[in-house]
Amino acid sequence: MDWGLQNRLARIIKPATGRTVMLAVDHGYFLGPTSRIENPRRTIEPLLPHADALMPTRGVLRASVDPATQTPIVLRVSGGTSVIGPSLADEGITTTFEEAIRLNVSAVALSIFVGTDYERQTLLSLADLVNEGQTYGIPVLAVTAVGKELEKRDQRFLSLCCRIAAELGAHLVKTYYCEGFEKVVEGCPVPVVIAGGPKLDTMKDVLQLTHDALSRGAVGVDMGRNIWQSEHPVAAIQSVRAVVHEKATVKQALDLFEDLKATRN
Ligand code: R5P
């Protein structure tokens, strides 16, 4: 792997632990002003110092993120659909590589929609991005999207998606946690991070999800709603960090969450 590409990946996956806590804030690209991120700057600002990488679109990056930030950016470059449109899967590439370079990003991200009418289109977009990423030394994160069909999140389907993403050259894959998750990781020869998915009932559930994913081979999380929809988002991201980087148990991380919540968050 080229030096520049390795260097950018090392900004995201921290060499000290080989792990990462990415903060996903790209939901508005198809969901509009999602609950608790109606004002992106207000949501992102207090969380940014605690994130190993931030995943926004270019619009939110420009309008709502301080350019002095030292947090690496993983830029979502796919889109073109909305939650009220005919198909969330019908995505194209929305942001050029030239623009990604101008924005000094550490990686670009797109969704792939395996098993849909738009499988070929989104997989070829991945391949095109990887070709450009190899040229410029910029890693590509593939998101194994399921659109509105959350029930698709099972091991056989996610294994298929992750492996295809890796075969097409993705440098990092983002998927969902599932029963048998270790098989998803085993079949994917590049690092895997998990999305948090819709908000879970309790912080204990979020920490358990994080712990289970990491103990079964994920290198980290790229989490959104379960952090910024928390009543205590800064405490939430710090306790997720404890599981990811300090190998805290769920109980230790939950105790930390309760302490932080009581004191500052
Ligand atoms: C979805 O397409 C987006 O990429 C989100 O960033 C992703 O689902 C992660 O966010 P959450 O943890 O809220 O699921």
- Domains of the chain in start order, with CATH, are 3-199 (3.20.20.70)
Residue 247 appears among annotated catalytic residues:
no
Any ligand 1 atom below 6 A from CB of 197: yes
User: Distance, CA 200 to ligand 1 centroid (Å)?
Assistant: 13
Residue 73 DSSP class = B
State pLDDT tens for residues 169-224.
Answer: 999 999 999 999 999 999 999 999 999 999 999 999 999 999 999 999 999 999 99
- Is residue 233's pLDDT more than 90? yes
Any ligand 1 atom below 6 A from CB of 139: no
Report d(CA 36, CA 50) in Å as an integer: 18
* Single-letter amino acid, residue 239: S
Any ligand 1 atom below 6 A from CB of 195: yes
Helix (H, G, I), strand (E, B) or coil at 141: strand
* Single-letter amino acid, residue 141: L
State pLDDT tens for residues 65-96.
Answer: 999 999 999 999 999 999 999 999 999 999 99
State pLDDT tens for residues 25-55.
Answer: 999 999 999 999 999 999 999 999 999 999 9
Average pLDDT of every residue of the chain: 96
User: Distance, CA 24 to ligand 1 centroid (Å)?
Assistant: 6
Closest atom of ligand 1 relative to the 199 alpha carbon: 13
Handedness of CA 73, 77, 78, 84 (dihedral sign): positive
User: Distance, CA 135 to ligand 1 centroid (Å)?
Assistant: 28
Whether the model pTM is above 0.95: yes
User: Distance, CA 157 to ligand 1 centroid (Å)?
Assistant: 18
- Among candidate residues 152, 174, 183, 251, the one labeled active-site is 174
Strand 78-79 and strand 92-93: the pairing is: antiparallel
- Bridge partners of 24, per DSSP, are 55
Q: Give the sheet arrangement for strand 74-76, strand by strand.
A: 53-55, 20-24, 220-223, 192-194, 172-175, 140-144, 107-112, 74-76
What's the CA dihedral at 239, 241, 247, 253 to 10 degrees?
0
